[in-house]
């Protein structure tokens, strides 16, 4: 019987790992669909990983929520170190493999894990209340209708169940330890589960073993399910938050990436003598972005990393004044389009035009032109996502490829082209306003 359980466990582990790796390859391939973007080494990159990804520095503008989130994030990651022992126990048919080697340190470590599990459980309950009863505005906006809202609730419920199973497993285990039942050797009292164990004292040894084994199997199976649910969920940021903060743009926040081709055209228009004798007009050059292929791989990594927390949308002045722009929706739409393109490639071996693009089919011109480029969304993102970079690329395509911009801008464009300034005055007449000052 023990050998059968070991074989089943090994097969479960292999299946879960294979499915996870397959999805990771799908996501990695999708991110690589983007254009190249150069990133130079910089000491601030590791600081971003430490303070932004792990330390969650930007969330502490709301200290209580930040502490609860940090408890869930750090707690869940640290508790899962315990998965190593469970996996080894499952493979070798042992029980608490590390206990004989660590002694009292083992008891301390499990106690620490139990405290974290209790914190994770409590925080998840509070977050469920905030989402579904208090109904915090940024967590209940229209772009979250349907799957995104359900996804957030599923993951919180999932974590509550996993932490409860961990504590129930230890509670049943503790009762069996005190009864010196078979291989359940006494490894010391656990702070949380020892207090819970009194609830199960009336159960027989057989019932306690069944409870401990059931909780053990459900816990590890649940972890494997969670592992494979993660890539389909917004909670992928648990993993991608680290590389995304490392590759965040180090340049000044308000600095926009200019297009050398446009800069040269402006220079040549203002100073024709600068035009090289062998200069040729660039043809078939696409300006801006229309679909995910035109964005950079960092833009696409941003989209997969989005936590859907809505801090960007809550900070957006356009959204606050009733416009339909939502930076969070921009990131969600980019990710959805990327997934659609990826499925298209998997189905047809190469991308086959499906008549859709990120611009227009997912993100409307009304959304884009509502953006003031104020950088508020960039400033508040806890994992250093840059929605404005995507917005600007789409706006460039609208303006430079489709000549699709607000009508009020056309006069300004014409003046810049003819007069090298936004105003309708000839360059020769530009300083005439000062003549009266000299008389």
Confidence (pLDDT) at 147: 93
Q: How far apart, in whole angstroms, are the C-alpha atoms of residue 14 and residue 155?
A: 23
> Quick one: average pLDDT of 184-192?
87
Q: Which two tokens stand for residue 208?
A: 């306690």
> Quick one: average pLDDT of 348-377?
96
Confidence (pLDDT) at 279: 60
Q: How far apart, in whole angstroms, are the C-alpha atoms of residue 95 and residue 128?
A: 35
What is the average pLDDT score of the chain?
90
Residue partners of 48: CB distance under 8 A and separation at least 6: 245, 246, 248, 384
Q: How far apart, in whole angstroms, are the C-alpha atoms of residue 420 and residue 416?
A: 4
Beta bridge partners of 363: 359
> Quick one: average pLDDT of 366-393?
95
Which band of pLDDT confidence, cut at 50, 70 and 90, is reported for residue 262? confident
User: Which of 149, 92, 49 is CA-nearest to residue 382?
Assistant: 49
pLDDT at 224 over 70: yes
> Quick one: average pLDDT of 405-422?
83
Q: Which two tokens stand for residue 413?
A: 């464009």
CB 392 within 8 A of CB 327: no
Whole-model pTM over 0.85? yes
Which band of pLDDT confidence, cut at 50, 70 and 90, is reported for residue 136? very high
Q: How far apart, in whole angstroms, are the C-alpha atoms of residue 148 and residue 137?
A: 15
Under DSSP, the state recorded for 402 is: S
pLDDT at 321 over 90: yes
Confidence (pLDDT) at 420: 77
Measured CA angle at 257 (ends 254, 258), to 5 deg:
120
Is 61 or 335 the better-scoring residue by pLDDT? 335
Q: Which two tokens stand for residue 121?
A: 């459980």
pLDDT at 272 over 90: no
Confidence (pLDDT) at 427: 77
Provide the CATH number for the domain formed by 260-272+286-426 in this structure: 1.10.1060
* Residue 296: φ, ψ to 5°: -85, 165
Percent of the chain predicted with pLDDT > 90: 70
Is 198 or 310 the better-scoring residue by pLDDT? 310
Q: Which two tokens stand for residue 145?
A: 């209708």
Q: How far apart, in whole angstroms, are the C-alpha atoms of residue 417 and residue 266?
A: 9
Q: How far apart, in whole angstroms, are the C-alpha atoms of residue 403 and residue 405?
A: 6
pLDDT at 161 over 70: yes
Q: Which two tokens stand for residue 412?
A: 């300004």
Cα separation of the two ends of the chain: 107
Measured CA angle at 126 (ends 142, 163), to 5 deg:
115
Minimum mean pLDDT among 154-158, 215-219, 335-339, 401-405: which range? 401-405
CB 201 within 8 A of CB 175: yes
> Quick one: average pLDDT of 291-316?
96
Under DSSP, the state recorded for 182 is: T
pLDDT digits (tens, 9 = 90+) for 40-51: 889 899 999 999
Beta bridge partners of 131: none
Q: How far apart, in whole angstroms, are the C-alpha atoms of residue 152 and residue 156?
A: 6
pLDDT at 123 over 90: yes
pLDDT at 280 over 70: no
The domain ranges of the chain are 62-246, 260-272+286-426
């Amino acid at each position: 019987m023990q050998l059968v359980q070991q074989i089943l466990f090994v097969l479960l582990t292999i299946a879960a790992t294979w499915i996870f790796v397959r999805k990771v390859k799908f996501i990695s391939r999708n991110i690589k669909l983007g254009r190249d973007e150069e990133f130079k080494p910089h000491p601030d990159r590791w600081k971003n990983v430490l303070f932004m990804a792990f330390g969650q520095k930007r969330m502490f503008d709301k200290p209580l929520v930040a502490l609860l989130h940090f408890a869930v994030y750090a707690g869940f990651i640290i508790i899962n170190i315990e998965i190593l022992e469970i996996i080894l126990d499952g493979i070798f048919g042992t029980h608490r493999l590390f206990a004989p080697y660590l002694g009292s340190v083992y008891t301390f470590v499990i106690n620490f894990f139990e405290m974290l599990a209790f914190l994770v459980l409590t925080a998840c309950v509070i977050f469920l209340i905030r989402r579904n009863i208090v109904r915090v505005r940024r967590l209940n906006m229209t772009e979250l209708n349907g799957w995104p809202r359900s996804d957030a609730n599923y993951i919180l419920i999932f974590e509550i169940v996993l932490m409860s199973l961990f504590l129930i497993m230890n509670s049943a285990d503790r009762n069996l330890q005190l009864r010196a039942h078979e291989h359940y050797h006494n490894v010391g009292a656990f702070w949380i589960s020892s207090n819970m164990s009194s609830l199960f004292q009336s159960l027989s040894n057989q019932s306690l073993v069944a409870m401990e084994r059931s909780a053990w199997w459900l816990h590890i199976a649940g972890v494997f399910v969670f592992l494979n649910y993660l890539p389909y969920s917004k909670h992928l940021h648990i993993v991608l938050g680290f590389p995304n903060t490392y590759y965040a743009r180090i340049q000044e926040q308000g600095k926009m990436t200019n297009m050398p081709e446009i800069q040269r055209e402006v220079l040549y228009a203002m100073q024709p003598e600068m035009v090289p004798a062998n200069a040729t007009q660039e043809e078939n050059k696409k300006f801006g972005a229309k679909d995910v292929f035109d964005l950079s791989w960092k833009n696409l990594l941003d989209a997969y990393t989005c936590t859907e927390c809505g801090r960007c949308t809550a900070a957006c002045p356009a959204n606050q004044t009733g416009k339909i722009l939502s930076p969070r929706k921009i990131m969600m739409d980019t990710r959805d389009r990327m997934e659609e393109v990826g499925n298209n490639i998997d189905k047809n071996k190469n991308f086959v035009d499906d008549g859709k693009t990120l611009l227009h089919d997912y993100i409307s011109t009304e959304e884009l032109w509502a953006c003031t480029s104020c950088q508020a969304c960039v400033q508040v993102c806890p994992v250093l996502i840059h929605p404005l970079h995507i917005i600007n690329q789409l706006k460039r395509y609208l303006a430079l490829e489709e000549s699709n911009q607000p009508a009020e801008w056309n006069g300004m464009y014409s003046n810049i082209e003819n007069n090298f300034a936004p105003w309708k005055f000839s360059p020769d007449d530009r300083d005439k306003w000062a003549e009266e000052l000299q008389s």
